[in-house]
């Protein structure tokens, strides 16, 4: 299997076999272990010593469904620690079909040169001058590349925010229909790509050299079983196809955990206007698509196409986190404005979560009133225009807090939280505080376990059991992100015998025995490497804490604060 190294300093590309110690790894395991081994922890994230690594999940381009997940890793300019951000679309499948295990982008051009990295149908990589593609927004970037190369390439690249090396810059990648609307959003990895002068990674879609399966029949049998479980599950088989992740708006609001107006409240009076049910109704009435395939190998189709009153495409896909960050978090209950802001983030190349929270902090500081959607749109256009204030917004919530001297900045390790207020779900406080990624909901989502009223096992307002729940989920997710199974297809893992089935597939691909204990060891190994990197980058247990507002300000309507003690937080990683 191939590992491609791209030296941006000398504009050279070398392709070698994957070194022995990194074989049988993929996704987050590969990016995090490589970064910990090769990137100096104290380096400038935007300097030549940082490395930007693209790695498809271990299962990408196998017969298993919902596995086109690409992990992108680097030292983060937003957190100063290690980062893995993963994204769907088609690129992970495309790379894996070409037998490519990772692309490692190193160095930095001295003279301001900019490039596009192309990988052709034979898996040959080459750098070309970005020319006038540099400077484009992402939808235009994709169009220009398609004009040059035709439709057979996935495009993974940055917009103006990444070119300006702003800390909330995303890396966007094309969806199943070729639109750059899928984001490796978190951690400012778009800025790292921009610092390397790399506008886009362009990968041929029709490779025919995927990693061989040691036991194809055993793999296919297990994969069929997994797909059956994903289809049979109510959430992944019925709810997500009809409503997408936006279905979460109403229940999380009901739980009093939907951060509203920069997390001053946990319920938004406009939630009905921005719920998944309302969104689906609007899309249906206007002739858009409520059910849409966004990623290769997907059988869930949680994506959608949001259209305007004339039925014209606005954005894909409108999802829970963005509806929150550009909705409740900024006090905006207008879905059309949210959809426009989502499109702008994709087009400019910005993380919708960090950017929405940056706007929320600015509004909280009095710059504009909450609920002013037009002001939010103007702030995003300022980012694209490169104004001084635009750069403040594009650098994320901490930069905005500093700019206004405003202390209410809902972050951990410099990264904003997501759409679950930790004061209303204490387990999320543990995940946000201790994840090596900074406040990241996907690193250990314990919301379902915490809603004990109907079926959960934890009291969400009690500290009891939260550390253990978060630890176990974080270990599990580190392994999930490494094999590259979509978060929403985890129903296949949660089904009876699901984990055993996944272990069978790892063994059937590698040809080596793989047990459930090995699964836990894989997740633990990844977290250990990430924490080791962060420790060497200067992080201490004091960085495993939430922003003061979460400990000090009770959140209506339940009026709770985070009650997990520092001692308990520090027990999360007892290895």
Strand pairing category for 2-7 and 12-17: antiparallel
The DSSP line for 14-32 is EEEEPPGGGTT--HHHHHH
By CB under 8 A, residue 387 contacts other proteins: no
Contacts of 54 (CB under 8 A, 6+ apart): 70, 71, 72, 91, 95, 102, 103, 105, 156, 201
**Tokens (6 digits) for 179:** 């639109």
**Tokens (6 digits) for 447:** 């919301």
- Which residues from 312-341 bind other proteins, rule CB under 8 A? 320
Contacts of 356 (CB under 8 A, 6+ apart): 322, 324, 325, 326, 329, 330, 341
Q: Which is nearer to other proteins, 3 or 250 (CB)?
A: 250
Q: Which is nearer to other proteins, 134 or 488 (CB)?
A: 488
- Which residues from 452-471 bind other proteins, rule CB under 8 A? 453-455
Contacts of 228 (CB under 8 A, 6+ apart): none
By CB under 8 A, residue 156 contacts other proteins: no
Contacts of 70 (CB under 8 A, 6+ apart): 27, 54, 55, 56, 57, 60, 86, 87, 88, 89, 91, 92, 95, 156, 173, 184, 484
> What is the SS3 assignment for 154?
strand
Contact 474, 435 (CB under 8 A): yes
Q: Which residue, among 30, 83, 32, 80, has the nearest Cα to 60 in the 3D structure?
A: 30
Taken as a whole, the chain contains a residue count of: 575
Figure out which of the listed residues 110, 152, 238, 566 binds other proteins, where binding follows CB under 8 A: 238
Q: Which is nearer to other proteins, 141 or 329 (CB)?
A: 329
Q: Which is nearer to other proteins, 48 or 456 (CB)?
A: 456
Binders of other proteins: how many residues, by CB under 8 A?
36
Binding mask 261-300 for other proteins (x = CB under 8 A): ------x-------xxx---x-------------------
Q: How far apart are CA 384 and CA 479, in angstroms?
A: 36
By CB under 8 A, residue 242 contacts other proteins: yes
Q: How far apart are CA 56 and CA 78, in angstroms?
A: 23
Kindly indicate which of the ranges 90-98, 187-195, 206-214, 253-261 contains the residues binding other proteins, using the contact rule CB under 8 A. Answer: 253-261
Figure out which of the listed residues 20, 147, 217, 234 binds other proteins, where binding follows CB under 8 A: 234
Figure out which of the listed residues 68, 154, 174, 236 binds other proteins, where binding follows CB under 8 A: 236
- Which residues from 486-505 bind other proteins, rule CB under 8 A? 487-488, 490-491
CB atoms under 10 Å from CB of 439, counted, come to 29
By CB under 8 A, residue 256 contacts other proteins: yes
Contact 359, 393 (CB under 8 A): yes
By CB under 8 A, residue 447 contacts other proteins: yes
290 φ/ψ sector (left φ>0, alpha ψ -120 to 50, else beta):
alpha
Report the run of H or E that residue 236 belongs to, with start and end.
Answer: none
Shortest distance, position 408 Cβ to other proteins, whole Å: 24
Q: Which is nearer to other proteins, 59 or 320 (CB)?
A: 320
By CB under 8 A, residue 551 contacts other proteins: no
Binding mask 192-221 for other proteins (x = CB under 8 A): ------------------------------
Figure out which of the listed residues 11, 239, 377, 495 binds other proteins, where binding follows CB under 8 A: 239
Q: Which is nearer to other proteins, 296 or 447 (CB)?
A: 447
Provide the sign of the torsion angle of the four alpha carbons 186, 192, 198, 203, taken in this order: negative
Figure out which of the listed residues 39, 184, 203, 255 binds other proteins, where binding follows CB under 8 A: 255
Figure out which of the listed residues 60, 245, 322, 501 binds other proteins, where binding follows CB under 8 A: 245
Q: How far apart are CA 328 and CA 309, in angstroms?
A: 23
By CB under 8 A, residue 550 contacts other proteins: no
Kindly indicate which of the ranges 6-14, 393-401, 448-456, 530-538 contains the residues binding other proteins, using the contact rule CB under 8 A. Answer: 448-456
Shortest distance, position 254 Cβ to other proteins, whole Å: 4
Q: How far apart are CA 84 and CA 250, in angstroms?
A: 29
Q: Which is nearer to other proteins, 195 or 474 (CB)?
A: 474
Figure out which of the listed residues 117, 250, 437, 469 binds other proteins, where binding follows CB under 8 A: 250
Shortest distance, position 536 Cβ to other proteins, whole Å: 29
Q: Which is nearer to other proteins, 37 or 494 (CB)?
A: 494
Q: How far apart are CA 16 and CA 2, in angstroms?
A: 6
Kindly indicate which of the ranges 151-159, 252-260, 357-365, 536-544 contains the residues binding other proteins, using the contact rule CB under 8 A. Answer: 252-260
By CB under 8 A, residue 560 contacts other proteins: no
**Tokens (6 digits) for 491:** 């129903």
Shortest distance, position 89 Cβ to other proteins, whole Å: 17
Q: Which is nearer to other proteins, 252 or 479 (CB)?
A: 252
CA–CA–CA angle 241, 246, 247 (5° rounding): 70
Contact 106, 14 (CB under 8 A): no
Shortest distance, position 190 Cβ to other proteins, whole Å: 21
Contacts of 405 (CB under 8 A, 6+ apart): 365
By CB under 8 A, residue 442 contacts other proteins: yes
Q: Which is nearer to other proteins, 220 or 286 (CB)?
A: 286
| Site residues, other proteins (CB under 8 A) | 234-236, 238-239, 242-243, 245, 247-248, 250-252, 254-256, 267, 275-277, 281, 320, 441-442, 445, 447-448, 451, 453-455, 487-488, 490-491, 557
């Amino acid at each position: 299997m191939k590992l491609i190294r791209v030296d941006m300093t000398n504009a050279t590309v070398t392709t070698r076999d994957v070194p022995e110690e990194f074989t049988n790894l993929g996704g987050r395991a590969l990016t995090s272990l490589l970064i910990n081994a090769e990137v100096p922890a104290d380096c400038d994230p935007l300097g030549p010593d940082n490395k930007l690594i693209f790695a498809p999940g271990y299962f990408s381009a196998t017969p298993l469904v919902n596995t086109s997940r690409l992990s992108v890793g680097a030292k983060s300019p937003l957190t100063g620690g290690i980062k893995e951000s993963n994204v769907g679309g088609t690129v992970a499948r495309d790379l894996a079909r070409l037998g490519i295990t990772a692309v490692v982008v190193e160095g930095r051009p001295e003279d301001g040169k900019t490039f596009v990295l192309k990988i052709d149908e034979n898996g040959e990589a080459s750098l070309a001058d970005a020319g006038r593609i540099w400077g484009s927004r992402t939808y235009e970037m994709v169009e220009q590349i398609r004009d040059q190369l035709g439709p057979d390439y996935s495009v993974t690249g940055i917009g103006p925010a990444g070119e300006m090396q702003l800390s909330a810059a995303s890396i966007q990648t094309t969806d199943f229909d070729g639109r750059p609307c899928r984001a490796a959003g978190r951690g400012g990895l778009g800025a790292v790509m921009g610092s390397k002068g790399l506008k886009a990674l362009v990968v041929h879609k029709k490779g025919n050299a995927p990693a061989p399966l040691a036991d194809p029949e055993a793999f296919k049998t297990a994969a069929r079983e997994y797909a059956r479980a994903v289809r049979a599950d109510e959430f992944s088989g019925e709810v997500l196809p009809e409503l997408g992740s936006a279905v979460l708006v109403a229940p999380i609001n009901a739980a009093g955990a939907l951060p509203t107006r920069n997390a001053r409240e946990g319920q938004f009076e406009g939630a009905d206007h921005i719920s998944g049910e309302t969104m689906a109704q609007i899309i249906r009435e206007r002739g858009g698509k409520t059910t849409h395939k966004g990623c290769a190998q997907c059988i869930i189709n949680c994506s959608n196409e949001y259209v305007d009153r004339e039925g014209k495409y606005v954005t894909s896909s409108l999802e829970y986190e963005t509806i929150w960050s550009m909705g409740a978090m900024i006090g905006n209950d207008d879905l059309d404005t949210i959809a426009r802001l989502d499109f702008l983030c994709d087009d400019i190349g910005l993380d919708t979560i960090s950017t929405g929270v940056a706007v929320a902090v600015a509004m909280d500081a009095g710059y504009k009133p909450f609920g002013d959607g037009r002001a939010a749109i103007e702030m995003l256009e300022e980012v694209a225009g490169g104004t001084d204030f635009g750069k403040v917004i594009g650098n994320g919530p901490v930069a905005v807090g500093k700019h206004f001297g405003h202390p209410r900045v809902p972050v951990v390790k410099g990264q904003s939280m997501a759409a679950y207020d930790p004061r209303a779900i204490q387990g999320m406080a543990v995940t946000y505080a201790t994840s090596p990624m900074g406040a990241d909901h996907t690193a250990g989502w314990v919301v379902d376990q915490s809603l004990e009223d109907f079926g959960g096992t934890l009291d969400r307002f009690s500290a009891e059991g939260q550390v253990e729940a978060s630890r176990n989920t974080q270990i599990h997710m580190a392994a999930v992100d490494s094999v590259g199974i979509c978060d929403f297809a985890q129903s296949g893992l949660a089904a009876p015998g699901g984990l055993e089935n996944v272990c069978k597939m790892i063994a059937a691909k590698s040809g080596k025995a793989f047990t459930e204990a090995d699964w836990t060891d894989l997740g633990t190994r990844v977290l250990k490497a990430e924490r080791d990197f962060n420790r060497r980058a200067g992080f201490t247990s004091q960085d495993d804490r939430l922003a003061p507002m979460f400990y000090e300000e009770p959140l209506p309507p339940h009026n709770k604060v985070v009650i997990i003690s520092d001692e308990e937080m520090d027990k999360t990683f007892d290895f």
